[in-house]
Amino acid sequence: MQNIVILAGNIGRAPDTRNTQGGTSVTRFSLATSRPRLVDGQVVRAEDGSRIEDTEWHRIICFNGLGRVVQDRCGTGSKVLVRGRIHYTRWTDAADVERFGCEIIAEGVDFLNPVSPHETEVLVEPGDPTP
């Protein structure tokens, strides 16, 4: 059996990168995905005719090189496609209550926003040949 997740959405909170004591780079961000609200199989619409959407939030984690690229290329509102797997966590909080969480471990991230010429200049190091 496979544990595969593919999500396309907008980054809600800018990526945050930290390093573990062992030197692993861990980058986290939140991702919003939306879908049309359905009632009895029909799309629900607002008074102006636009469709009403429900938004869900996902916690995304990237490691090492992938995380560094995400940190450099993305910010709040960036559109990305994340491929990865679901990871469930369990812990006991300070009040001795058992808690559960779910996060997506990213194995690949595609950047869906077009890259502006300014961003391209930033990504090319001085002295590198023009791509």
State pLDDT tens for residues 22-42: 999 999 999 999 999 999 999
The whole domain housing 111 covers 5-34+54-123
pLDDT of residue 25: 95
CATH of the domain at 74: 2.40.50.140
**Residue 7: pLDDT above 70?**
yes
Angstrom CA distances, 13 to 4, 31, 55, 61, stand at: 23, 8, 15, 13
Using DSSP, state whether 4 is helix, strand or coil: coil
Q: Considering the chain, what is the average pLDDT of its residues?
A: 88
Could you tell me if residue 39 is inside a domain?
Answer: no
Whether 65 is in a domain gets the answer: yes
Question: Residues 50-70: pLDDT tens digits?
Answer: 999 999 999 999 999 999 999
- The H or E element containing residue 66 is helix 64-73
Q: Is residue 77 part of a domain?
A: yes
CA distance 84 to 26: 15
User: Number of structural domains, the chain?
Assistant: 1
**Do the domain assignments include residue 12?**
yes
Q: What is the structure's pLDDT at 114?
A: 67
Q: Is residue 97 pLDDT above 70, yes or no?
A: yes
| pTM beyond 0.85, yes or no | no
